[in-house]
Structure 1
C-alpha cells in the first residue's frame, strides 16, 4: 500500500498535468483537509518531493488565505532553474544529492543513460579518493561545470 506522502505527490503531479500548465496554485489547508492530514504533511511532501533538483520551484504566498504555487520548469528552456540548481549545489554537495540531480536530468532526457553514468562515475567517492579533504567542495564545482555545459 502506498504511503500518504506518495499519494499526495502523485495527486499534485496529476493536477499539474491536468492543468496543462507548468504552474499550479493550491491551498495548503484545503489539500490537508482533502487528504485528512495535518498541513505539515503537505509541507513535508512539498519540501522533499518538489525540489529544484527535480525540476520544481515552490513558492508560498501569505495573506488572503495564502496559497502555494508549484512550477515545473524544463532545464533546457529556463536558465533560472539552472541558477537555482547551482544555488542548491552551493559550495559543497554530497554524492547522494548529486545523484538526485543527475537522475532528474536523465529522467527528463536531458542527458543520455551513458552521459549520466559518466557523470556519476566522475563525482563518486572512489573517483575522488585522492582528495584527502574537500571532496564535497570539489564535487560541487565538478557538477556545476557539467551542468553549465548542458545549459548551452
Structure 2
C-alpha cells in the first residue's frame, strides 16, 4: 500500500515516460483534483522528491494559468550528473540534502541499496556527533570526496 505522496510521485514519473521528454508541465489544481488531495500535498512531493539532488529542476508560475514545470537533468551521462551534484554541495551540507543526493544516486543506478545505507550511516548526525555547523561541513567534505569515487565505477 502506497501513501499519497508515493502515488503522486509515480504519476509524475509516468508523465515523463509517456511524454518521452525531459520536461513535464503540470497544474497544481488539476493534480490535486485528480488525486483528491490539497495542493500543498503536491508541493510537498515536488519539494522532497523532485529536487536538484534527485536530478530535477523546478520552475513554477502561480496564478490562474499557473503551472509547475519539472525538468529532468540528464542523468544518463553519469560523469555530468556527478559534476552537477558536486556543484550543489557548498561548504556545508544538511543531513536531508545528503539523503536527497543518496536517493538520486540510487535512483540513477550509480550505487546499490547496500552502498546507499553505508553512505547514510557515515553521514548521519549520530555518527558525526559535533555541533551542527561542524557536522554539516564534515558531511559536505565527505560527499565531495565520495562522489568522484562513485563516478569511476
**TM-score, with normalisation over the residues of structure 2?**
0.72
Q: Which runs of 5+ in 1 are unaligned?
A: none
Shift of 1:14: 1.0
2:87 aligned partner: 86
Q: How many residues align?
A: 150
Tell me, yes or no, if the aligned pair for 1:51 and 1:57 is still in contact at 8 Å.
Answer: yes
The residue that corresponds to 1:108 in the other structure is 108
Matches within 5 A, 1:17-56: 17-56=17-56
Q: CA deviation at 1:60?
A: 0.5
Shift of 1:18: 1.0
Aligned CA RMSD, in angstroms, stands at 3.3
Cα pair distance change 1:18/1:123, threshold 3 Å: same
- In the alignment, the residues of structure 2 paired with residue 55 and residue 75 of structure 1 have an alpha-carbon distance, to the nearest angstrom, of 7
Q: Distance in 2 between matches of 1:38 and 1:82?
A: 36
The equivalent residue for 1:68 is 68
Structure 2, unmatched stretches of 5+, are none
- Per the TM alignment, residue 70 of structure 1 is displaced from its structure 2 partner at its CA by 0.9
